[in-house]
Amino acid sequence: MAGVITELVLATRNLHKGEELTALLSSLGIRVRTLAEFPDAPEVIEDGDTCEANAVKKARTIADVTGLPAVADDTGLEVDALDGRPGVFAARYAGEHVTYEDNWRKLLKELAGVSREGRQARFLTVAALALPGGVVEVAQGTLEGIIAEEPAGTGGFGYDPVFHVPELGKTLAELSAEQKNCISHRAKAFAEIREILLSKSESSGTVRSA
């Protein structure tokens, strides 16, 4: 990657995710844009077998379309009792065009009767940073937890109301945005992306942000 990165595009139309990712990258001194500013950008079909394949495809496509560096991510939820499902299909587990609640209610239904000890799960986020022309760097973050028997909390999005973090004694939806951004799978992946961006800026002679 050559040159100074002064702005980038988040390859998502998910408003909740866009807000979270913007916060994670806000200290870089880089203008962070979303696809809301690029209404003609295509809808990228997430048809990969892995989170990495989907993240790379989205980032590469949006970088080439917008002519700007692009960051994309994909998150899977692996539940041990379900042999790793829903995995990469977490966002559409209950079908196409469903709500967050539809997805986690299906998950709770499938885990009905499973003991707490058997409800181990983890989030996996893969983030990809792409430049126009195809250069891509990839980062990964995970968060271990258990699937709660009942939802709790009103914050976050996705499976947050039913993903319990034992060390904190709370679900992700019970945490503030600041707390979640310190420990989440997505925060870990984007911390690596942040370091990649900083290293590129430093190698180009720009000053590290505080």
Quick one: what percent of the chain has pLDDT higher than 90? 69
Please tell me whether 194 is known to bind a ligand: no
**For residue 203, what pLDDT is reported?**
57
The one catalytic residue in 47, 49, 64, 74 is 74
**For residue 19, what pLDDT is reported?**
84
The pLDDT-based confidence of 41 (bands split at 50, 70, 90) is: very high
The pLDDT-based confidence of 201 (bands split at 50, 70, 90) is: low
Please tell me whether 47 is known to bind a ligand: no
Please tell me whether 14 is known to bind a ligand: yes
Q: Provide the token pair at 42.
A: 């295509």
Mean pLDDT along residues 167-187: 93
Please tell me whether 186 is known to bind a ligand: yes
Asked if the model's pLDDT at residue 46 lies above 80, the reply is yes
For the chain, the average pLDDT equals: 90
How many other C-beta atoms are found inside a 10 Å radius of the C-beta of residue 93?
Answer: 19
**Residue 169 φ then ψ, to 5°:** 70, 25
78-129: per-residue pLDDT in tens? 999 999 999 999 999 999 889 999 999 999 999 999 999 999 999 999 999 9
Please tell me whether 15 is known to bind a ligand: yes
CATH topology of domain 7-203: Maf protein (3.90.950)
Chain-centroid distance of CA 144 in Å reads: 15
CB 70 within 8 A of CB 63: yes
Please tell me whether 154 is known to bind a ligand: no
Catalytic residue flag (residue 102): no
Domain boundaries, the chain: 7-203
Please tell me whether 60 is known to bind a ligand: no
Omega of the bond prior to 86 within 30 degrees of 0, cis? yes
